[in-house]
Structure 1
């Protein structure tokens, strides 16, 4: 199996993203793909994540990361077949291929910013600046609530993935507002692709309900995964997945 074969078997082709969409992703560093999930699918995801959060209690998210002021879950690849779409959807994979070329899934997690919480400093998901085009990491946010200015929608600085710097190189306080930042506001069911070298961060949820999302995070194949899929993958999960999905997860039998 190789990258081109895996993508072809998962229904990925060059024409799944328009020229304008590719140009926006290159220029701005992010691309909203609306309507990836139906309202019924969004509701089903939210119900299942609530069940998992309740079942895992204070251990929720421990496989990767726990964050004060949020409900987090990790290792979703193993926790329900419904989550397979997050590392198999053709449009999402086409965007990852456009940004990274050769890639694998690094982790599949969820994050719900709780009321009054969720603010993050601007950051990139790579520890050092890279030259434009030499990108190593790319994320997708699966919106399970409408993202609004009030409920903590992610902020980004458009084009910052091309600066060759990190927020800490330019900002005295990366937690402060940036003059060029915008918020990624979009309806539930949207998947926002964003080049993870783009400066980004969650904002404070000013509503009375959690703001929920999943993060399907991909990296170049030479990088270690945030969650080692080979170590964590359960036998029943491996058996239900296709060889092309095994390739995206970078696992062997």
Structure 2
């Protein structure tokens, strides 16, 4: 069966119900200009010292889950007031209510991190956020919804995140072909959202 590899893209002014429908269908979406460039600059300013102290992993092997030539800074909620506001953004809260609410009494933040992919970093292996919950068979109920906020432009040439639209409905052993993988190009200030069952990777 052919797969639509286009990532649904919306503007921040679009009807949020359309985003919810796109996530149900494709398992991923991009909302362009979800926050102002001023807000993005504030986040970066709050994290600049911590990022400056975070070393790039220089070497790896093809078997390593996390590619080298990348900075990874965890615990953003403790480091940045602006990151707290991003995590509790009304749009994200509404999407969480829609996609997680039927499967839980309440949801919570699982992890927050800043990732800076450097030149020469290899592509990451495709994976699902919900791989941490193997006791639920695939396809699973929605257990996780993930976001990635663009602190700079995401482009094909600088490692925009890889997504496999529709893969949240696949069986566990189905492998993505090259033509089923899309890259999430988006300008600074945008946010990418994907369901925990959607295959994705660092580009």
What residue is the counterpart of 2:174 in the other structure? 170
Decide which of 163, 169, 173 is 1:156's aligned counterpart. Answer: 163
Residue 131 of structure 1, CA deviation: 3.0
Q: Report the Cα offset of residue 17 of structure 1.
A: 5.2
Query: How many aligned positions are there?
Result: 175
> Which residue pairs with 2:139 in the alignment?
131
- Any gaps of 5 or more consecutive residues in structure 2? 1-13, 58-64
- The alignment partner of 1:91 has SS state of helix
Structure 2 distance, partners of 1:58, 1:121, is 19
CA, structure 1 residues 82+19, in 2 after alignment: closer, same or farther (shift >3 Å)? closer
Q: Deviations over 1:170-220 (max 9, x none)?
A: 33xx7xx632111111111011111121011111xxxxxxxxxxxxxxxxx
* Contact preservation (8 Å) 1:66, 1:72: no
Q: Deviations 1:30-74 (Å, cap 9, x if unpaired)?
A: 121222221112222223333112235589xxxxx9752211111
Query: Is contact 2:23-2:29 (8 Å) kept?
Result: yes
The structure that has the greater radius of gyration is: 1
Counterpart of 1:31 in 2: which secondary structure? strand
* Contact 1:95-1:193 within 8 A present in 2 as well: no
Contact 2:159 2:202 in 1 (8 A): yes
1:159 offset after TM fit, Å? Answer: 0.5
Deviations 1:71-109 (A, max 9, x none): 111111111212111221000111122111131100111
Over 3 Å counting, the alpha-carbon distance change for 1:18 and 1:80 in structure 2 is closer
User: How far apart in 2 are the matches of 1:66 and 1:77?
Assistant: 22
**Correspondent of 2:47 among 23, 46, 49:** 49
Kept after mapping to 1: 8 A contact 2:99/2:145: yes
Assess if the C-alpha contact under 8 Å between 2:30 and 2:192 holds in 1. Answer: yes
Q: What is the match of residue 114 of structure 1?
A: 118
Q: Contact 2:70–2:121 (CA<8 Å) still a contact in 1? A: yes
List 4+ stretches of structure 1 deviating above 4 A.
56-59
Residue 39 (structure 1) aligns with:
37
Task: Go from structure 1 to structure 2 and tell me whether the alpha carbon gap of 1:158 and 1:56 turns closer, same or farther (over 3 Å shift).
Answer: closer
Per-residue deviation at 1:118?
4.7
Alignment partners' CA distance in 2, 1:76 and 1:146: 20
TM-score (norm 2): 0.77
TM-score normalised by L of structure 1: 0.63
Query: What CA RMSD, in Å, does the superposition of the two structures yield over aligned residues?
Result: 2.4
